[in-house]
Amino acid sequence: MAHPLIRKCIKPTNPNFLTSVSVLRRLASVAAADDPQSASFTFSSAGKWKSPSSVTMPVSFMTGSIVGKRFYKEVKTREADDGNGWTVMLDYRTLKTPSKRPLKLSTLSLAKAIAAEWEYQQTDGIRPFTMPLMRLACTALERVPLTRTKIVENLMKKFNQDLVFCRAPDDNELTSYVHDRQVEKIDPLLRWVESEFGCKPVLYSSFFGGKQEDGLVMAVENLLKKTDDCELAAIDAIAASAHSLIIAIATVCGKLQIEEAIELIRLEEDLQVDKWGLVEGGHDVDIADLKVQISSAVVFLGLSRGI
């Protein structure tokens, strides 16, 4: 069941990440292909002599770069056999997850968005890294239910080193301008944390982090434990890219818009880019990838709710 804070705050979001997706897709189109036979799809049918009625994704879909050539012509959606959810069809085959479970999605809008990702795939190879919504759906359906406790534990292990708690020194000419920008941009988020969880965050300048009050740690952990599978999958994905559980929770709760979250995540690096310049093929690709990771998690959660 969704935590009340998330259920209260989540609201429609504008999926303005298509430009970033197109950047990564252009890069993917020129990427070197792995051996398509190393991680092939499997096909199954109800009867011995019947044509395959389903297709199962390889386990390497969650980590591989290319998992085989496109074998289908048409992608469409249909209601699940039990009437509870929606599935994606590759021609006449029902798409299944790596554990051979039907890919059953909660809303038609999410099913159509994932179908669009499959429709995009090129003849020479299926590229999972161009299907962020599909990967999040597999995570929510398979990984989160089995490893929920471990996911929460891993998120909380890094909580004391959260990006938003680390403050640049203000008594050094090399870092004072960073400190001033952090005060301007991050302090409003910290005030929101205090108002929502009832504890004022502790700030520190050490790269190794510090120690937050037990009350704040327990409140955040309780929120994570009460999330549903889609919410936890989205929070985990954002936190991994943001190096900040607070930014992840604030984004999922609607406190931060996508652009605001990305600005906070890149605050120090963008200041360095402003000072020393942007490295083409480095900074720009990192920015595009970050936009896709953050935006896709927010859009995935919104679509799973029918928003």
Tell me what pLDDT residue 272 has: 79
How high is the pLDDT of residue 54?
Answer: 85
CB 212 within 8 A of CB 220: no
Rounded to the nearest 10 degrees, how much is the dihedral formed by the CA atoms of 127, 130, 132, 135? Answer: 0
**Over the chain (307 residues), what is each successive 10-residue block's mean pLDDT?**
61 51 47 42 64 78 79 94 92 89 93 96 90 95 95 96 91 82 95 96 83 96 97 97 97 96 90 73 80 96 88
Residues near 47 by beta carbon (within 8 Å), at least 6 away in sequence: none
At 83 the pLDDT is 87
Considering only CA atoms, give the Rg of the chain.
21
List the domains of the chain with CATH numbers: 32-126 (3.30.2180.10), 138-304 (1.10.3580.10)
One-letter amino acid of 65: S
What global pTM score does this model have? 0.84
Give the pLDDT confidence score for residue 52 in this predicted structure: 65
pLDDT of amino acid 222: 98
Res 20: pLDDT: 54
Among residues 99, 98, 95, the alpha carbon closest in space to that of 114 is found at 95
CA distance linking residue 137 with residue 85, whole number of Å:
13
Report how far residue 295's alpha carbon sits from residue 96's, in angstroms, rounded to the nearest whole number. 25
Q: Cβ contacts of residue 132 below 8 Å, gap of 6+?
A: 21, 117, 292, 293, 296, 297, 300
Sign of the Cα pseudo-torsion (35, 36, 37, 39, in order): positive
Quote the pLDDT of residue 30.
39
Q: What does the pLDDT read at residue 33?
A: 37
| CA angle at 217 for the pair 216 and 223, rounded to the nearest 5° | 90
pLDDT at 253: 94
